[in-house]
Amino acid sequence: MSSRGALLAAATLALGLATADGAHAEDLVFMLDNQSSYDVVEFYASPYNVDDWEEDILGRDILASGEATRVTIADGGAQCEYDLRIVFEDGDAVEDMEVNLCETGSYTVED
Protein backbone atom coordinates (compact mmCIF):
# COMPACT_ATOMS: atom_id res chain seq x y z
CA MET A 1 0.00 0.00 0.00
CA SER A 2 1.29 3.44 -0.87
CA SER A 3 1.78 6.40 1.39
CA ARG A 4 -1.67 7.54 0.34
CA GLY A 5 -3.14 4.66 2.33
CA ALA A 6 -3.63 7.22 5.07
CA LEU A 7 -5.70 9.42 2.74
CA LEU A 8 -8.91 7.51 3.25
CA ALA A 9 -11.19 8.07 6.21
CA ALA A 10 -14.83 7.32 6.76
CA ALA A 11 -16.98 10.41 6.78
CA THR A 12 -18.75 11.85 9.77
CA LEU A 13 -21.37 9.70 11.45
CA ALA A 14 -25.11 10.20 11.44
CA LEU A 15 -25.50 11.59 7.94
CA GLY A 16 -28.03 8.86 7.23
CA LEU A 17 -28.77 7.15 3.99
CA ALA A 18 -29.82 9.71 1.41
CA THR A 19 -32.25 8.67 -1.29
CA ALA A 20 -32.91 10.43 -4.56
CA ASP A 21 -36.45 11.13 -5.76
CA GLY A 22 -37.73 8.03 -7.50
CA ALA A 23 -34.94 5.81 -6.18
CA HIS A 24 -35.86 2.31 -5.14
CA ALA A 25 -35.58 1.39 -1.47
CA GLU A 26 -32.94 -1.19 -2.41
CA ASP A 27 -30.66 1.41 -4.03
CA LEU A 28 -27.72 2.53 -1.93
CA VAL A 29 -27.10 6.27 -2.31
CA PHE A 30 -24.17 8.04 -0.66
CA MET A 31 -21.96 11.07 -1.14
CA LEU A 32 -18.37 10.60 -2.26
CA ASP A 33 -16.36 13.61 -1.10
CA ASN A 34 -12.82 14.15 -2.35
CA GLN A 35 -11.07 16.31 0.25
CA SER A 36 -7.63 15.02 -0.74
CA SER A 37 -5.06 17.00 -2.71
CA TYR A 38 -5.43 14.68 -5.72
CA ASP A 39 -8.07 14.09 -8.39
CA VAL A 40 -9.81 10.70 -8.22
CA VAL A 41 -9.97 9.08 -11.67
CA GLU A 42 -11.48 5.70 -10.75
CA PHE A 43 -13.78 4.59 -7.93
CA TYR A 44 -14.92 1.04 -7.26
CA ALA A 45 -17.43 -0.13 -4.64
CA SER A 46 -17.93 -3.88 -4.58
CA PRO A 47 -19.89 -5.88 -2.01
CA TYR A 48 -17.37 -7.03 0.60
CA ASN A 49 -18.01 -10.70 -0.17
CA VAL A 50 -17.34 -10.39 -3.94
CA ASP A 51 -13.82 -11.06 -5.26
CA ASP A 52 -14.14 -8.66 -8.20
CA TRP A 53 -13.95 -4.86 -8.33
CA GLU A 54 -16.74 -4.77 -10.93
CA GLU A 55 -17.11 -1.53 -12.92
CA ASP A 56 -15.48 1.87 -12.36
CA ILE A 57 -18.35 3.95 -10.98
CA LEU A 58 -16.88 7.22 -12.27
CA GLY A 59 -16.57 5.89 -15.81
CA ARG A 60 -15.00 8.62 -17.95
CA ASP A 61 -15.54 11.28 -15.27
CA ILE A 62 -13.12 12.37 -12.57
CA LEU A 63 -13.76 13.63 -9.06
CA ALA A 64 -11.56 16.68 -8.68
CA SER A 65 -9.90 17.61 -5.41
CA GLY A 66 -12.42 19.51 -3.26
CA GLU A 67 -15.45 18.18 -5.15
CA ALA A 68 -18.22 15.78 -4.10
CA THR A 69 -20.71 13.66 -6.01
CA ARG A 70 -23.70 11.49 -5.23
CA VAL A 71 -23.12 7.79 -5.94
CA THR A 72 -26.00 5.39 -6.48
CA ILE A 73 -25.49 1.65 -6.38
CA ALA A 74 -28.65 0.29 -7.95
CA ASP A 75 -28.04 -3.43 -7.64
CA GLY A 76 -31.39 -4.23 -6.02
CA GLY A 77 -29.72 -5.71 -2.96
CA ALA A 78 -29.78 -4.80 0.69
CA GLN A 79 -25.98 -4.75 0.96
CA CYS A 80 -24.36 -2.15 3.25
CA GLU A 81 -20.74 -3.34 3.52
CA TYR A 82 -18.56 -2.55 0.54
CA ASP A 83 -14.89 -2.81 -0.32
CA LEU A 84 -13.76 0.50 -1.83
CA ARG A 85 -10.90 1.12 -4.26
CA ILE A 86 -9.86 4.64 -5.18
CA VAL A 87 -7.41 5.39 -7.99
CA PHE A 88 -5.74 8.80 -8.14
CA GLU A 89 -4.63 10.77 -11.18
CA ASP A 90 -1.02 9.55 -10.84
CA GLY A 91 -2.12 5.88 -10.87
CA ASP A 92 -1.66 5.40 -7.13
CA ALA A 93 -4.52 3.42 -5.55
CA VAL A 94 -5.80 2.72 -2.05
CA GLU A 95 -8.37 0.27 -0.77
CA ASP A 96 -10.65 0.37 2.24
CA MET A 97 -12.40 -2.87 3.11
CA GLU A 98 -15.82 -3.61 4.60
CA VAL A 99 -17.03 -0.01 4.83
CA ASN A 100 -20.64 0.22 6.03
CA LEU A 101 -22.07 2.89 3.72
CA CYS A 102 -25.58 2.59 5.21
CA GLU A 103 -24.35 3.86 8.59
CA THR A 104 -22.54 6.94 7.29
CA GLY A 105 -24.34 7.89 4.08
CA SER A 106 -21.06 9.27 2.76
CA TYR A 107 -17.40 8.52 2.24
CA THR A 108 -14.61 11.10 2.35
CA VAL A 109 -11.15 10.87 0.83
CA GLU A 110 -8.77 12.99 2.91
CA ASP A 111 -5.06 13.84 3.23
**Full set of structural domains in the chain with CATH:** 3-110 (2.60.40)
Query: Quick check: 88 and 96 in contact, CB under 8 A?
Result: no
DSSP state, residue 39: -
The C-alpha atoms of residue 36 and residue 26 are separated, in whole angstroms, by 30
At 38-85, the pLDDT tens digits run: 999 999 999 999 999 989 999 999 999 999 999 998 877 778 999 999
Q: pTM of the predicted model, to two decimals?
A: 0.76
Residues 41, 17, 4, CA angle at the centre, nearest 5°?
A: 30
